[in-house]
Chain A
Amino acid sequence: MKYINFKTACFVAISASMMGSVSADTLRMAFSVAPSTIDPFKSSASGTASLNEHLYEALVSRTNDKLLATSYGWTDDTTLVVNLREGVKFHNGADFTAQDVVYSSCRMMYRVGGKKNMLTSAMGPVTDVVAIDDYTVAFKTVGLYPILIQKLKSLSILDSGDADLGSTLKFDNTGDCGITRYPTKDEFATGKYANGTGKYKYESFSNTGDAVLVRNDDYWGNPGNWERVEISSVGNSGARMAGLLAGDYDLIENPTGEDLLALEGNSAYSFSTEPSWRTIFLVLDVGSDVAPGVTAADGTNPLKDIRVRQALSLSINRDAIVDKLMGGNATVASQFAPSYQNGADSSMPDLAYDADKARQLLADAGYSDSITINLRMPTNKYQNGKRVGQAIAQYWSRIGIEVNLVAEPWSVFRKGRSARELGVFMYGWGHPQGPAQMISYAFGTRNKPLNLGGSNYSNYSSPDFDAAMTAWAVETDEAKAFEYNQAAMRVAVEDLPGIPLYYQHSIWAHTSDISVSGRPDERTFADMASKN
């Protein structure tokens, strides 16, 4: 009885007026992953990328908006010409020109102390970056490289004035470029060179993941919504939520689905969700003669049998998982990338739930009650991951499969995966550059030149799938590329080298006096939020 009162009291307390009063033009956000640096070339981890996106801009945004580019196109198989926006100024007042793009490309290739940057590999095929005039720049590649424009979404543009350029600036693959001095790592850490064209300007940053930003009033487009943005990093979801409720933050990332229930009856807070590009799916080793952690009575790898894979898929009630465990904050998956992502086949039929049929299929395949599966998964990685893992284990148990659920720290999990010790595992993957990217890595037959199959832990190999992906990889026409991609996806859904579960939604919880429209790439940007 006492605790029921406690619960009601809890809501009452939450409804009570907020304690701290903060200037209305300040947004206080709590990230779930701490940004580790304000050098935009170092890490694509979500916290770092989210922070840096406030300060720096690329040519094109991840959602395909034109930022510093106004238009672009391939003039021949190996030349990508980009027209740049005029009248853009860096935070220090310098004008943005084509030279800054060349400089930024150089710095991306420049290895400080031998260390690679985010795009060092991705820009490997780029042979030259030429400033044609002040507002036109051309990227020359070694061969067909249609995906380059996608890759350039991660090329934040820095001010060339922050380095000593020397006499001639000429791009080369080492990043030497004739530049006599780059800002050093330590100089960057001081914030002196946190000098981009973004909507917000640097004020302070500490490696504990706390940062303060202020509005860039000279921004070329619509100025930022907030005069001041304070970013904190709180890894523990409960603490993040408690901080929101305690009035420490206006906006938090990734509350747990359960926490949202607490907010539902409370007018002072609300939350916003946005379907993300991340698909949660199970990877099945369908290629090995013996799949690690998967045993059947006859000693073979039962996952090689399509009927077993179908049974595994049919046994799972995805609707129940989404409703009961995810609190509705997920979308049932029909394929390996969100149906709503640009380029995906939105008409893909739903995957059925039919436990009886699943049992039947297992019987037909001769595996009734004879399969044992170690279902491996990382802990603390995906929303409700542990519970979903247990639910999958429940469902598979019911069709007569013995399941051992092994949840391990991410580090242990990753090592096991790279040693290919995981026969069946749960994974979440989304790719901002479109659905094709992910399945090309995950299910393609290993093909180094085309960069296919790099993460093919299913050991899956299908000529039809590979044919479609190979065609996609060199197709510069977007519409055609989408078609190849959808064809490959259909093959994968047919063959089930993995089992799609659901598309994760990103969630932001916030006070009711702001409204938030989220992003599908799981990053958090101050201007997602606006005052009501």
Chain B
Amino acid sequence: MIDYKKKLATLSIEIKSIFSGHPIAIAGLIGFIVFVLTALLAPWIAPQNPYDLMILDIMDGLLPPLSKLGNGTTSWLGTDALGRDILSAVMYGLRLSLFVAFVAVSIGTTIGVFLGLLAATKGGWVESVIMRAVDLKVSFPGILLALMLLAVFGTGVDKIIYALIIGVWASKARLTRSSALSEMQKEYIDAAKISGIPNWRIMLKFLLPNSIAPVLVMVPMALSGAIGAEATLSFLGVGVPITEPSLGLLIANGNDYLLSGKWWISIFPGVVLVSLVLCINVVADRIREHNNPYLKSMDKQ
């Protein structure tokens, strides 16, 4: 318990040291937190459930912002063709986009870290196989691969998560491996080895905690990348199902109407998408900068 508290305190100090004096990064962090909260609370704060076909009425379709719906409520950001309230759709879309990205990045990172550690510690053919697979993946642009996979396996939230995981794991595995390899050069690993500590313990207790930092630093970047990729795939129509639109699919829907002056259908989700990715990237940049050895060494002297 005490330990937990202490860790929390260290974490808050760390966060403070990362962000203090960087107003843009702070704004990004706040923005990101607001987006996450909105996404989490969407079922309670959204004016309607845009996935519930029962309450959608095509008679409410294509209303501009601030219109009154058939049931007497106001649609602040207008509706799409099916009478879906854009504000609610954006909230739920945000929820879906974040969910997909979070899940994909955490699973992909876990897999990548595990494989990277395995490659670094096992060496030999295990390493060859893993690293060739990484090469295979890295030499191929993720978006192309995801496109192929989604074309093969069809669309759906689960499918797009798989496709994104495949986009995420390889770079993490490569990073973990190189970080673990450089960690393995260090003497504490030798110390563990000569003390007869089993390899799996060395991997989990020595290598993992020490080589994961550079991977964790990349996680926010991976997150924004995954959000962008999901949006792109959904925009191309191979992402999430049409009844549960993510931000990308909302933009795609609205794109059809853009020329007819019904700008609100795609502009709002677009603005939210760009702001979300921007917030994450600003934070990610700051974290990376903070962890940059060159800038850091200067900080410390």
Contact = CB atoms under 8 A, between A and B. Distances in A.
Report if A and B touch in the complex (beta carbons < 8 A): yes
Interface of A: 3, 6-7, 10-11, 237-238, 241-242, 245, 256, 258-262, 320-321, 324-325, 379-380, 384, 386-387, 389-391, 393-394, 397-398, 403-409, 411-412
Contact of A394 (B57, B237, B242): B57
A237 B9 CA distance: 55
Contacts of A391: 58, 82
Contact of B54 (A256, A321, A398): A398
B53 A397 contact: yes
Contact of A325 (B58, B238, B243, B263): B58
Given A320-B58, A387-B81, A238 B53 contact: no
A409 B260 contact: no
Contacts of A384: 81
Interface in B243-275: 243, 253, 255-264, 267
A320 B59 contact: yes
Contacts of B59: 320, 324
Across the A-B interface, the 3 shortest Cβ-Cβ residue pairs:
A261-B260, A262-B260, A7-B261
A376 to B, nearest CB: 11
B214 interface: no
A408 B81 contact: no
Nearest to A241: B259
A393 B243 contact: yes
B53 A394 contact: yes
Given A325-B61, A387-B81, A6 B263 contact: yes
A394 B253 CA distance: 17
Contacts of A320: 58-59
Nearest to A14: B259
B259 A325 contact: no
For chain A, what secondary structure do more than half of its interface residues adopt (helix, strand, loop), or is it mixed? helix
Is the interface on chain B under 10, 10 to 19, 20 to 34, or 35 or more residues? 20 to 34
Interface string B168-197: 000000000000000000000000000000
A397 B57 CA distance: 11
Contacts of A11: 261
Nearest to B56: A394
A407 B256 contact: no
Interface class of chain B by DSSP: loop
A258 B260 contact: yes
Contact of A405 (B61, B81, B243, B255): B243
Given A3-B267, A238-B256, A321-B58, A409 B238 contact: yes
Contacts of A324: 58-59, 61-62, 81
Contact of A238 (B62, B237, B258, B263): B258
B263 A3 contact: yes
Interface in B2-58: 53-54, 56-58
A242 B242 contact: no
Given A408-B155, A412-B154, A259 B58 contact: no
B241 interface: yes
5 contacts: A3-B264, A10-B259, A238-B256, A258-B259, A324-B58
A390 B243 contact: yes
B238 A238 contact: no
A393 B58 CA distance: 11
Given A3-B264, A407-B155, 8 more contacts: A10-B261, A238-B255, A260-B260, A261-B261, A320-B58, A405-B242, A405-B243, A407-B242
